[in-house]
Structure 1
Amino acid sequence: MENTTSPVSGAASGDPLAESFDIVARQDQVEAQIEVLRSDVTEVKSRLDKVARAAARPAIGGASTSDATEVKGFVDGYLRRGRETELKSISGINPADGGYAVPRQIDAIIASELAEISPIRAIAQVVQTGTSGYRKLVATGGTASGWVSEASQRPETAAPGFAEIAPPSGELYANPAASQAMLDDAAFDIETWLANEIALEFARAEGTAFVRGSGINQPEGFLSAPTGTAEDGVRAFGTMQYIGSGNATGFDMSPDSRLIDLIHSLKSSHRQGASFVMNSATLAAVRKLKTSDGAFLWQPGMVEGQPDRLLGYPVIEAEDMPDIAAGEYPIAFGNFRHGYLIAEHSATRVLRDPFTNKPFVHFYATKRVGGKVLDSNAIKLLKIEA
């Protein structure tokens, strides 16, 4: 029978020296296997630690872990300490371009705050654009049609008309400041503070521009559009209709009938989703108005969270609307989602400036915003005529 015992086996040879070598070899093998196991355990432990840290980190605004990491790098790296190297993979924007685009979570917070604070933004049509030269085609007339018999000729019909809307835009900016001591304080929530400060400044500027902006380096407000008394279909495109009422000192003797005329000057398709827009001083005067039988025109909301109503339609308070005075337009009524367009180009950018006003650090935030009347038939105005 063939001997299969290893020649180095001390048990097979009976040689004590060979047996000693065999024991040493086995010990080396065991130690090598233990070292491999230790390396595997260390790697597994490292992975578990990373998972545990990621799970413990709160996701900002319901964002994913990677998004939360991006925001944390932006806040702790750039906003607090001014480290630009941590942002190059986040924004893809060179410092020479004027700053860094904020992560989308912070930009979403700013947008949410703007919608709550800026009254016209909350009811208008808002579009995100990839270029500052945004344009939109609006149909000014439908395709003509006609009736014919089964065997009659089908003559050519007129083509629909279109008009081009190009909202004027401008650079909207805010420049809040915080001391370096505040930024060094780990408990200071710089993310929320910055988003709120930017939103407040943006909302104030937007509120004025969307109502009465000149259209020169800023949006064109709906009160800056040309006006006339002609009916829909007769007025030139882009001209808004107004209803005359009142006198030099305020409303006339029957303001309720003029408000009803204002409502029904709007087509029924636009009245679905329409609302009144006025400032608080005008609203105070309107709340005192009564019908001929003594009933108030104002209807307070009967359910919590439901807006108060005027003649069945919600009222939006916009402090940039003019007061009641001769020649002014203190009340607007319409479907602003159909009637006014807000075009936003790119995300909010922030430039950290620790040098201009030491020891304060300024955060110069910019965003390009445009606006213009989209459909002049969707918004009507009440004018106080002397």
Structure 2
Amino acid sequence: MNDTVVARPVLDGARVQGGGAFDGFVRSGTTIELKAFTGTTGDQGGFAIPREIDAQIDAVLKNASPIRGIANVVQVGSAGYRKLVTTGGTPSGWAAETDARPMSGTPTFVEIAPPMGELYANPSASQAMLDDALFDVEAWLAGEIAAEFAKAEGQAFVNGNGVNRPRGFMQSPTAATNDATRAFGTLQHLPTGTAGDFGANGAERLIDLVQALRAPYRQGATFVMNAATAARIRKFKTSDGQFLWQPSLVSGQPATLLGYPVVEAEDMPDVAAGSNAVAFGNFRMGYLIAERTETSVLRDPYSNKPFVTFYATKRVGGCVSNSEAIKLLKFAAG
């Protein structure tokens, strides 16, 4: 690898005002150090965002992209991530002291390969804004990228079709059969008994949904729905007049329903005939997000003068990893 050193300011200056290396790159395009695998270098290479800014983006993404906050997020080094999932334990049996021990069954493995795509954002700023010493360039850039990424991620983790993007959990096939007989990769849905409505007793339907999830998965389980569905459920009461919905008493903590946290995801469908408008499950065990750790940025001051465009990319994938860990409430007669 050839190193072409043009200038080398202090490399830990991502937070240093006025002299940071990345700050200089964002404001004026100053080249710090170029790495290339060939003998030639150019101005078309990507620059990794410093760790401090990358962490800031991840924090905003977790807050703005609700599924990311409850799913299993893994950092990968390439786009070819694979995960093995066992669909059954090792069978065992009882025997007397002198009985023969016949061969028992062996566990079955399924390979999970989350579909991946390149998430990108194209924020722009005028050169005058970048030249203003009072303007926090790094905070602006991180905020712009996080807002764009969170919007795209929120949709993909719920309804993504898996083509050059994650496959959302709502795109998985569903069946009314239980875990013992349902095919791997198929989520279980529980019909409400009434098309487009909760039926005579919505509270009982929610209890059925909770209890359909086996006990090992209920530890850490979460309700997922959009705001319109949450507004309807918040009005449900028990026979003695108590609300099922318990608002949070601590800032930053989610409200609870039947003792479980509620996460609002605006990409979830509304209550309608045949829709799966409420999800309940342990998303940490049921949904996998795989992403490259680096967010790369290209600075383009030429294409749209007097604006400077920053082209940011990050590879993200996702899919259901355990179809037993997520259940859906289907608003249908059967």
Q: In the alignment, is residue 88 of structure 1 matched against residue 41 of structure 2?
A: no
Q: Is the 8 A contact 1:70 1:103 kept in 2?
A: no
Task: Give CA-to-partner distance per residue, 1:57-78, whole Å, 9 cap, x none.
Answer: xxxxxxxx85336975443331
The residue aligned with 1:354 is 301
**Local SS of the residue matching 1:172:** strand
Larger relative contact order (CA 8 Å, sep ≥ 6) = 2
Q: In the alignment, is residue 108 of structure 1 matched against residue 55 of structure 2?
A: yes
Give the deviation of 1:343 after TM superposition. Answer: 0.2
**Local SS of the residue matching 2:273:** coil
Distance 1:76 1:172 in 2: 23
Q: In the alignment, is residue 67 of structure 1 matched against residue 12 of structure 2?
A: yes
Q: In the alignment, is residue 320 of structure 1 matched against residue 267 of structure 2?
A: yes
Structure 2 residue runs without a partner (length 5+): 1-9
**Local SS of the residue matching 2:28:** coil
Q: In the alignment, is residue 142 of structure 1 matched against residue 67 of structure 2?
A: no
Q: Is the 8 A contact 2:196 2:274 kept in 1?
A: no
Which segment drifts farther, 305-314 or 348-357? 305-314
The residue aligned with 1:11 is none
Distance 1:364 1:262 in 2: 44
Task: Give CA-to-partner distance per residue, 1:323-353, whole Å, 9 cap, x none.
Answer: 1111111110001000000000241000111
The residue aligned with 1:284 is 231
What is the aligned residue count? 322
The residue aligned with 2:122 is 175
The residue aligned with 1:201 is 148
Name which of 301, 323, 326 aligns with 2:248.
301
Distance 1:220 1:95 in 2: 36
The residue aligned with 1:237 is 184
Q: TM-score, normalised by structure 1?
A: 0.79
Task: Give CA-to-partner distance per residue, 1:100-136, whole Å, 9 cap, x none.
Answer: 1112221111111111111000000000001101000
The residue aligned with 1:44 is none
Q: What is the one-letter code of the residue matched to 1:111? A: D
**Local SS of the residue matching 1:315:** strand
Give the deviation of 1:98 after TM superposition. Answer: 4.6
Structure 1 residue runs without a partner (length 5+): 1-64
The residue aligned with 1:263 is 210
Name which of 59, 62, 66 aligns with 1:119.
66
Of the two, which has the highest radius of gyration?
A: 1
Distance verdict in 2 for CA 1:130–1:96, change over 3 Å: farther
Give the deviation of 1:305 after TM superposition. Answer: 4.3
Distance 1:96 1:182 in 2: 23
Distance 1:204 1:304 in 2: 23
Distance 1:117 1:317 in 2: 10
Q: Is the 8 A contact 2:14 2:52 kept in 1?
A: no
The residue aligned with 2:6 is none
Which segment drifts farther, 285-294 or 315-324? 285-294
RMSD after superposition: 2.4
Q: TM-score, normalised by structure 2?
A: 0.90
Q: What is the one-letter code of the residue matched to 1:365? A: A
Distance verdict in 2 for CA 1:353–1:156, change over 3 Å: same
Distance verdict in 2 for CA 1:95–1:368, change over 3 Å: farther
Which structure: greater helix fraction?
Answer: 1
Q: What is the one-letter code of the residue matched to 1:88? A: L
Which segment drifts farther, 102-111 or 376-385? 102-111
Distance 1:177 1:246 in 2: 51
Q: In the alignment, is residue 378 of structure 1 matched against residue 325 of structure 2?
A: yes
Q: Is the 8 A contact 1:348 1:366 kept in 2?
A: yes
Distance verdict in 2 for CA 1:354–1:162, change over 3 Å: same
Distance 1:108 1:184 in 2: 25
Which segment drifts farther, 129-138 or 292-301? 292-301
Q: In the alignment, is residue 250 of structure 1 matched against residue 230 of structure 2?
A: no
Distance verdict in 2 for CA 1:99–1:70, change over 3 Å: farther
Distance 1:303 1:114 in 2: 21
Distance 1:102 1:74 in 2: 11
Give the deviation of 1:169 after TM superposition. Answer: 0.7
Identity of aligned residues (%): 60
Distance verdict in 2 for CA 1:303–1:80, change over 3 Å: closer
Q: Is the 8 A contact 1:74 1:103 kept in 2?
A: no
Distance 2:74 2:235 in 1: 38
Q: What is the one-letter code of the residue matched to 1:161? A: T
Distance 2:313 2:63 in 1: 20
Distance 1:122 1:95 in 2: 38
Give the deviation of 1:245 after TM superposition. Answer: 1.0
Distance verdict in 2 for CA 1:123–1:69, change over 3 Å: closer
Q: What is the one-letter code of the residue matched to 2:264? A: E
**Local SS of the residue matching 2:81:** coil
Q: In the alignment, is residue 368 of structure 1 matched against residue 315 of structure 2?
A: yes
